[in-house]
Amino acid sequence: MKRIFLLTFVFLVVVSNTIAFSQKSQLRVARNSIGKLQVAINNQKDNKAQLDILGEGVKAAEAAQNDRKTRKWSETWAIKAYLSSYVSILDGNEGNSDRYYGLAIAAIDSAKRLDRFDDNARLIEASIYNINIKKQNKANNAYKNNDFTTAFNLLKEVSDFFPKDTSLAINTALSAQNIRAFDNALIYFRRAKDNGAKDPAIFQTLSKLYTSKFEHENAIKSLEEGITVNPYNTNLTNDYINLLLDSEKYPEAIHTIEQNLKATTNNKLLFFLYGYLQQKGAGYHTAQLAYNRALELDENYFDALYQLGLAYVDSANEALKAKTPDSNQKFAGLVNRAEVALLQAHEINQNDKSTVELLIEIYTRKNKLDKVQELKSKLEEF
């Protein structure tokens, strides 16, 4: 929550002798209420005392605005804008708060239009600041009530006014996501990131948004930036490696996994992915080691069991092709290992068709026709 903008400078009351006494007194009351407000705050007066001062000031400003001469002065409207904007934040009555919010916006427009020489720039600036705090409050309420369109429209204006505020940028982006305004979500998540936000979820979301736009290089870059400020974050690393795999950047994926495995030894997915990449490159022995490390962390890891079984089958086929004196012996040993791994996988997920098909292939080679028939019957049930 931003702080209300308080004017701490002293207003000099310089009044022309040509101004009527009533005009002069009303404008003086309005001016002085700003100073009284500052004193009340310094003395820790409650909201009621502050609202009483503000009410007196607004009443005087409205009297000045209705005078044919002072209504043409930017100062009249600037003071009314500032006092009204402050009431809109301070008043706990939602109806009153919204009414003064509307008065402040209208007064700001008049003050800006009449202020040709920026004489009241600070008052106008303070009023706009306070109005944005009120908009933020309204946006938060809208978000809580699932009115994401209103929340986004308000938060967008507030975030544009406070562009360095990363929390505002994130909330604006989240509101945009909820109304499926993904281009806007991208803008505000990127704003949060560019201004120093480091939450891993921001970089993950940016990557997904870029991926949805088929901007794969930007998606990868977003995750790389996230990993730079969140080294070895599991979720970012996993997303990054998967994105490299999807983009067929296999050497980069292997390098990333190897670097992360030096820092962490309890990430089963990293071991699995490393095994998978080694298996794709015919590094079956290394793949088997990696899958077994994953299974040490989770003995019921289905994907690792299935791929381990497949790696043993691939190794068995390679052993036969080698045609060495011990080829048949190696083949039989590797097939047995494949059978054990695949039976464990089948026990965990009995409806996986690929596992059943591999077991049928193994039992066919072993001439266990009863097992083959049993599994073929199971396949017909899928």
Q: Which amino acid makes up residue 124? A: I
Q: Provide the sign of the torsion angle of the four alpha carbons 77, 79, 80, 82, taken in this order.
A: positive
pLDDT given for residue 12 in this prediction: 33
Out of 23-32, 84-93, 129-138, which region has the weakest mean confidence (pLDDT)? 23-32
Cα 347 to Cα 258: distance, rounded to the nearest angstrom = 31
Check residues 231 and 23 and name the one with the higher pLDDT: 231
How far, CA to CA in Å, does 340 sit from each of 72, 88, 202, 297? 91, 72, 43, 18
pLDDT over 50 (residue 212):
yes
What is the mean predicted confidence (pLDDT) over 231-242? Answer: 92
pLDDT given for residue 2 in this prediction: 60
Contact status, residue 30 vs residue 73, Cβ threshold 8 Å = no
Report CA 32 to chain centroid distance, whole Å. Answer: 45
pTM to 2 decimal places? 0.81
Residues 146-199: pLDDT tens digits? Answer: 999 999 999 999 999 999 999 999 999 999 999 999 999 999 999 999 999 999
In which band, very low, low, confident or very high, does the pLDDT at 22 lie, cut at 50, 70 and 90? low
pLDDT given for residue 378 in this prediction: 81
pLDDT over 90 (residue 334):
yes
pLDDT given for residue 323 in this prediction: 86
- Helix ranges (DSSP H) in the chain: 21-42, 47-65, 74-90, 94-114, 121-144, 148-161, 166-178, 182-194, 200-212, 216-229, 234-246, 250-263, 268-280, 284-297, 302-322, 327-348, 353-365, 369-381
pLDDT over 50 (residue 20):
no
